[in-house]
A and B are shown apart, each in its own frame.
Chain A
């Protein structure tokens, strides 16, 4: 049973299932690359910090559900402005315009304007909207707190503020219906003749006037509340699930690949050493192997996570501790066969050292088996980590797919029909597992030709 690398690759490239595995794996790796490039690790670490998700909607479905519905659910929009500044005489103007098309069959649930201004003196902030039908409505006009030197001031304007309701009431003669007891956003986005949504292009404008110095809007966001958001939707804690799912990919690959390589290398060396040495060494090593083998992995993993720690690196170590035993058994029995071969005996007679024989003559023979084992033990590592995270024992600074599912189950997402919170993480776990099982399956077919008939 000797294999050359080229021959294995040749057979592998003929196997459809193996190629499928590689294709999935390439996709997963590019997803990881996208995660690294687009979402900095530091911002991902704020996953469990509720304050960093305030401008996102709560439990919003993915935005693409609208393609399958005749009635379009309002999308949650976070709009960035187009900025423009002017100077007329001694007055500095700063205008931020927010242009968007609103084509949904429902009113936004609210709107929030978040801003951070740098100014001195007491600038005036005005907000108005130009509707698709050309009607312009003044929303608010406030002066920012006086400052004698340059200050940075952050605040928000909410659609629920009484001031806004009063300002809008001055436009009541334009509307054919009574504006009493109707909230501001339902007036601004309404047709004039009846209280129904007016679709089309809206332009929100924020003007900042100052006489003493040119004001700067360092941060300026208009958030329109809706019930669908992004590609993957959001969860109960307003977190954008696409961020969690994207970052889960490199984490799952890291856990799976590190654990499997670690356990295969450990198991291989241990097993081959036991098999090659034989006699008492073999007996002792294998009985120790039996003890680890018979230990219930899951309860012990839980205890280890609780008592020692749940950092992702410790978790990888724990999984290796329980992962190497099966491989050690198989590689021992393989080493038992190989060591009786004549060239090994010859090497021994020539006085080569044991470790040289093991690493030069026996281990290379087991490499195809080792690669197949690595591929095949990846899914188990990923599902076990996901299982531990699902039980709430995961590393909180690196949220994995299992932790997303844990949160989903603790907010009873299943009972509330939040499929977009349950389905994608599980599917990602399975797809990642499948990629490796496919590859392992293809290699298995090469190493065990018997199974192919």
Chain B
């Protein structure tokens, strides 16, 4: 399978999954969201009417006012398309379109650093930071994990192998967020080496911005690496131990070829295919790896 074909297939599957997820989400929150948006529409109309003094004085009785408001609310609900049930195809289609274009409305409590309460702005502001942090962490973890795993597999049952395996088991038992809290406690408050916030408080144009950014992301990065590399090393080690016993390796070994070079190549190919994480069929450690990978927070 060519790489392009693989990418295309992957993209299509991921898009399908995205759609399915959105659909499930909309089904789950649909009826709740429906009543919330109806209520907020009604509230908005009431406020508009009560703020408009000249309009308010034109009514003679409260019944008139009430019927006017009820009428206005009805019109607004029809205009917003809320008169149809939330599970009607148009409503679901509209909701999905809105989510895809990141049109989430406004947040009540949160604002972005620039002061916007638009949910899209808030998300787009945090997104680059998340990508930067997790890409860096994953890169470091995978390099470290492949290296350590290879060394451990080539010296099975050595001290290093045992330490790596033990560390993998122990580190995967701790919740990542708890280690995070602990690291902040120790390295930001007990020994104030790193800052307790994850983003610099300088503006992007400031010359010291990038240095400050690195300094601020150091503690979360260290935490993610410490938690992550053990499982990676263990995964790679188990792959390699399996591969090293395959017949073709024995044959190569007999022919005098360095076993490490070859297996590392095979294994890196296998590991780095994103799919290998999902299509784990052999060692059950892998299936655990998948579970854990999916549910770790």
Contact = CB atoms under 8 A, between A and B. Distances in A.
Interface of A: 290-291, 293-300, 303-304, 307-308, 322-323, 326-327, 329-330, 333, 369, 372-373, 376-377, 379-381, 383-384, 386-387, 390, 405, 408-409, 414-415, 417, 419, 422-423, 425-426, 429-431, 433-434, 437-438, 440-441, 444, 447-448, 450-451, 453
Contacts, number: 159
A307 B29 contact: yes
8 contacts: A295-B24, A376-B285, A377-B291, A383-B295, A387-B177, A390-B177, A437-B172, A450-B241
B284 A330 contact: yes
B17 A376 contact: no
Nearest to A384: B295
B296 interface: yes
Nearest to B169: A437
Contacts of A377: 288, 291
A434 B25 contact: no
Nearest to A414: B185
In terms of DSSP, what is the predominant structure of the interface of chain A? helix
Given A298-B297, A414-B181, A291 B20 contact: yes
B24 A380 contact: no
B281 A329 contact: yes
A177 B225 CA distance: 62
B241 A380 contact: no
Given A383-B173, A384-B297, 14 more contacts: A295-B24, A298-B295, A299-B25, A369-B284, A379-B292, A381-B295, A384-B295, A414-B182, A429-B178, A431-B173, A433-B173, A444-B285, A448-B283, A451-B242
B189 A326 contact: no
B174 interface: yes
Contact of B284 (A297, A372, A414): A372
A300 B173 contact: no
Q: Which 10 A-B pairs have the closest CB atoms?
A: A433-B173, A426-B178, A294-B17, A414-B185, A387-B297, A376-B288, A430-B173, A384-B295, A383-B175, A430-B174
In terms of DSSP, what is the predominant structure of the interface of chain B? helix
A213 B224 CA distance: 71
Interface residues of B, number: 50
B287 interface: yes
B28 interface: yes
Nearest to B18: A294
Nearest to B33: A307
Contacts of B242: 450-451
Contacts of A441: 169
Contact of B17 (A295, A303, A326): A295
A292 B290 CA distance: 13
A451 B175 CA distance: 26
A405 B178 contact: yes
B278 interface: yes
Interface of B: 13-14, 17, 20-21, 24-25, 28-29, 32, 156-157, 169-170, 172-175, 177-179, 181-182, 184-185, 188-190, 196, 238, 241-242, 245, 278-285, 287-288, 290-292, 294-297
A453 B178 contact: no
Nearest to A447: B284
Contact of B294 (A297, A327, A379): A297
B28 A307 contact: yes
A386 B278 contact: no
B296 A383 contact: yes
Contact of A295 (B21, B179, B196, B280): B21
A390 B181 CA distance: 11
Contacts of A297: 294-295
A304 B28 contact: yes
A296 B13 CA distance: 14
A297 B24 CA distance: 12
Contacts of A304: 28
Contact of B189 (A295, A387, A414): A414
A422 B179 CA distance: 10
Contact of B185 (A329, A419, A434): A419
Nearest to A405: B178
Contacts of A293: 278
Contacts of A372: 284
A178 to B, nearest CB: 41
Contact of B21 (A300, A373, A426): A300
A1 B134 CA distance: 41
A414 B187 CA distance: 11
Nearest to B32: A307
Contacts of B169: 434, 437-438, 441
Contacts of B285: 376, 444, 448, 451
A429 B173 CA distance: 8
A307 B35 CA distance: 13
B245 A453 contact: yes
A206 B61 CA distance: 70
Nearest to A334: B281
A304 to B, nearest CB: 7
Given A295-B20, A303-B25, A387-B177, A422 B294 contact: no
Contacts of A299: 25
Contacts of B20: 291, 294-295
